[in-house]
Structure 1
Amino acid sequence: MKKNRLLLILTTIGLISCNQGSTSFSGTVGKETLISTKIDKSQKPSAKHNKNNFYTKYEYNQSDCTSLIIQNSFPKSGINYTDPNGKKYIYAVFWTQIINNTVNPIELTIDFPLDSFEIPSSSGNFMKLLVPSDTMTIDKEPMNDYGLKIKYFLDNNRYKSSSLKRTIKPKSSTAFYVVPLSNRGVRGTLRAGFSLKGQNLFYSVNNKEILSGKIDLPAPQSLLLKK
């Protein structure tokens, strides 16, 4: 009991000192600088538009003043997709950036379920989540579908299981696409993104959480969401 109390006190002190003297890292993917990871102190990790055009931004701090940041985009889409057999779908394109500000490499695994799921707010609407192997870079942000060759990807991957594995080096980042594909449009606005619980990654689509992968790093239990 005394040991647990001491660990909690040291973690709290560490987090306070991090907030007093933290520095930011500009996450990069390939040669493209994505955004500065310095966070507005008034900003909370909630569903709000911010100056970097991300829908949500989550920062997870460790006691050694390092952090892991997950940022999720707003959607882009051409809306309609017709497969080679003439079946019609609705799609959207999102992208996520994960920034590793820790001193250790991180092993990222995305593993979406093979089966589709029903969206709670849209009865009878079934959605499948797909993750292309392409890397998102900032120069693609103004493009339709964020520059993803969506028809080619869906023609060849709509029935397959969808997974992705990447290693994120210390003080580096990666960015990737997510494509929700459904049999009809969602009522209202479609919002989605990753968040972290322990080592597990969850992907939320209009408040429905789906276990979608994990992040392997030393002592994941020490990561605390910045409020």
Structure 2
Amino acid sequence: MNKKAIILILALMLFSCKQANKSVDAEALDSIKNTEKNKKSIINADKSIFTKYDYTYSKGKSIIVQNSLPKGGIRYTDPKGNKYIYAIFWTRIINETDNPIEFKINFPIDSYEIPALPGKYYKTLIPPDTMTIQKAPLLNYGLTNLESFFDKSIDKPSSLKRTIKPKESTGFYVVTLRLIGGDQYGILRTELTLKGENLFYKIRDKEIQCGSIVIK
């Protein structure tokens, strides 16, 4: 083999090594960027969490329920001319057990009077959208097209049914609405809790039995 051929082969090998290094570096950089993005999403979600409950079942495996602080405080007028102010909350259920879990939530059409806020009645609606931690920093937690949803749902019961696979989670929204008028009562707090297989939703100091959760 002559000298020119040897030089050409060495040059090609060097170029190939450089390209491989660039490819590895690009993949590593993308991995770092994705990791940092996920970390930021988790941090933003943590900042918006109001309560977190860890329910331990057999063999030390848990179901975790996270409830958010509110966003919103925005006004809405229904097709009949009634004026409401609403707040948006999310709940995330994490299944750390080795079995699927199924939960059902049902809110009736009725409004709820809050004992600590006499004369104030709240409606509760569940939009069909799925909440993810990536949406935590967004306006209204990423929930959109609310007026259209309210127009269709304001006078109907609201429900949700989902199955969560082992080691997975799901998130959903709850929107509270009350008629505008009278005194203002500050920021509202809500949370979903679990007692046995029964689910309860608490609005301020009003606790509502709203559904069930079952380990398959």
- TM-score tier, shorter chain, comes to 0.7 to 0.9
| Structure 2 CA distance for aligned equivalents of residues 194 and 184 of structure 1 | 25
Residue 127 of structure 1 is aligned with which of 122, 126, 129? Answer: 122
The alpha-carbon deviation at position 115 of structure 1 amounts to 0.8
Is 1:179 aligned to residue 175 of structure 2?
yes
| Structure 1 CA distance for aligned equivalents of residues 178 and 106 of structure 2 | 18
Is 1:215 aligned to residue 213 of structure 2?
yes
| Structure 1 CA distance for aligned equivalents of residues 168 and 202 of structure 2 | 25
State the SS of the aligned residue for 2:92.
strand
The AA in structure 1 aligned to 2:157 is: S
Relative to the length of structure 2, the TM-score reads: 0.75
Aligned to 1:26: none
Aligned to 1:110: 105
The alpha-carbon deviation at position 85 of structure 1 amounts to 3.1
State the SS of the aligned residue for 1:133.
coil
The AA in structure 2 aligned to 1:212 is: C
TM-superposition CA deviations, 1:167-194 (whole Å, max 9, x none)? 0000000000001111137513200010
Aligned to 2:61: 66
State the SS of the aligned residue for 2:60.
coil
The 1:199–1:122 alpha-carbon spacing in structure 2 relative to 1, beyond 3 Å, is same
State the SS of the aligned residue for 2:119.
coil
Residue 82 of structure 1 is aligned with which of 72, 77, 83? Answer: 77
The alpha-carbon deviation at position 155 of structure 1 amounts to 1.3
Is the 1:78–1:145 contact (alpha carbons within 8 Å) kept by the matching residues of 2? no
Where do 1:33-44 residues align within 5 Å? 35=42
The 1:51–1:145 alpha-carbon spacing in structure 2 relative to 1, beyond 3 Å, is closer
Identity of matched residues, %: 54
The alpha-carbon deviation at position 216 of structure 1 amounts to 1.0
| Structure 2 CA distance for aligned equivalents of residues 147 and 72 of structure 1 | 16
Aligned to 1:195: 193
| Structure 2 CA distance for aligned equivalents of residues 62 and 117 of structure 1 | 32
RMSD value, Cα: 2.0
Aligned to 2:204: 206
Larger Rg: 1 or 2? Answer: 2
Is the 2:53–2:66 contact (alpha carbons within 8 Å) kept by the matching residues of 1? yes
Unaligned runs of 5+ in 1: 1-31, 37-49, 219-227
Residue 160 of structure 2 is aligned with which of 161, 164, 167? Answer: 164
| Structure 1 CA distance for aligned equivalents of residues 79 and 156 of structure 2 | 15
State the SS of the aligned residue for 1:215.
strand
State the SS of the aligned residue for 2:151.
helix
Is the 2:55–2:63 contact (alpha carbons within 8 Å) kept by the matching residues of 1? yes
Is the 2:62–2:95 contact (alpha carbons within 8 Å) kept by the matching residues of 1? yes
The alpha-carbon deviation at position 111 of structure 1 amounts to 0.7
| Structure 2 CA distance for aligned equivalents of residues 115 and 86 of structure 1 | 18
Is the 2:104–2:211 contact (alpha carbons within 8 Å) kept by the matching residues of 1? yes
Is the 1:201–1:212 contact (alpha carbons within 8 Å) kept by the matching residues of 2? yes
The alpha-carbon deviation at position 142 of structure 1 amounts to 1.9
